[in-house]
Chain A
């Protein structure tokens, strides 16, 4: 026999953690925006991100790519911890017991609610060890002067460390298409570092997404 009273013993039933209307809070008198857990949020203007890219590009030239990617990786490490803690707390179950659908939808919802653009997974090559992640309207697709390669470094970094921590393996998110180059979306190939290391060189040779995927699948 199912007892509804038992199901309702915990009066709060979880739904969508990142629901915009419930997620975004703040103490406006103090100038603080917060999420529903009380972690601070700030609204970063697009112009600041552009300025960061520009400043780094001018000061460090080609190294800017690496610096931004590393910043993204640090960001991703903290983000993973916060993200999983929030979900475990809200849904009241450990990550391992969460359904795949809930987890991936939360990640997607997290992206849109924070205004980072829209994120989608494409499992076409998953059985061959490569997961494609696509984002649209990313705030990070900004060209560094004199470079014609994909440029969502912060995003590549956060995805790299987020999925590495999630899987317990050294993964890399290599970006192959970019809105800043006129592509309709940003594509990241996610896979083992030792398999994807070559992407950087392939991109420098001027290879596009399809050619890179073929090379990776044939290697």
Chain B
């Protein structure tokens, strides 16, 4: 799938961009400072944020799930958050979907990990809501929901 930006570049090969095209570009550029700030925040808080999720999951699970499975779940969460952060920065949901989710969907034992993932995403969403401003939530949470929908349901 092409990003909006790539489509604009393609169009520019044939003609000058229209005012509407440029407006699209301007909107994206105007949203960049917010996107960059959120990206930095996710990068800098990656460990702390996911450690909270892991701790809460461990406490709730007790020994219901083996350590290896939980680690696997957390690793996938790390990936989803990283690709999600990049997708948010590029304003390109496809980056997350095509590069990561379509792959995870095929290699993970989705059924077996469903319960664990349900819990991990519940805690992840809680953490994100506490740490992000409403504007930042609008930028990131739809992407997390996409991951949830793909990997759980």
CB–CB A4/B54 < 8 A: yes
CB–CB A1/B58 < 8 A: yes
Does chain B have a CB within 8 A of A126?
no
> In angstroms, how far is the closest chain B Cβ from the Cβ of A25?
15
CB–CB A101/B103 < 8 A: no
The docked-state distance in angstroms from the alpha carbon of A16 to that of B102 is 9
Does chain B have a CB within 8 A of A218?
no
Question: Looking at chain B, what size class is its interface with the partner chain?
Answer: 20 to 34
Interface of B is mostly: helix
Binds B, one of A7-15, A28-36, A175-183, A185-193: A7-15
Does chain B have a CB within 8 A of A204?
no
B103 — nearest CB in chain A belongs to which residue?
A16
B67: chain A residues at CB < 8 Å are 2
> In angstroms, how far is the closest chain A Cβ from the Cβ of B45?
11
CB–CB A2/B71 < 8 A: yes
CB–CB A15/B51 < 8 A: no
Interface string of B6-29 (1 = CB under 8 A from A): 000000000000000000000000
B54 — nearest CB in chain A belongs to which residue?
A2
Does chain B have a CB within 8 A of A127?
no
B104: chain A residues at CB < 8 Å are 15
Question: Looking at chain A, what size class is its interface with the partner chain?
Answer: 10 to 19
> In angstroms, how far is the closest chain B Cβ from the Cβ of A214?
32
Interface string of A105-136 (1 = CB under 8 A from B): 10001000000000000000000000000000
The docked-state distance in angstroms from the alpha carbon of A81 to that of B74 is 32
Residue positions of B touching A, CB distance < 8 A: 46-47, 50-51, 54-55, 58, 67, 70-71, 74-75, 78-79, 82-83, 98-100, 103-104, 106-109
30 contacts between A and B (CB under 8 A): A1-B58, A2-B55, A2-B58, A2-B67, A4-B46, A4-B50, A4-B51, A4-B74, A4-B78, A7-B71, A7-B74, A7-B75, A7-B78, A8-B46, A8-B47, A13-B75, A13-B78, A15-B83, A15-B99, A15-B100, A15-B103, A15-B104, A16-B100, A19-B98, A19-B99, A21-B98, A101-B106, A101-B109, A102-B107, A105-B107
Residue positions of A touching B, CB distance < 8 A: 1-5, 7-8, 13, 15-16, 19, 21-22, 99, 101-102, 105, 109
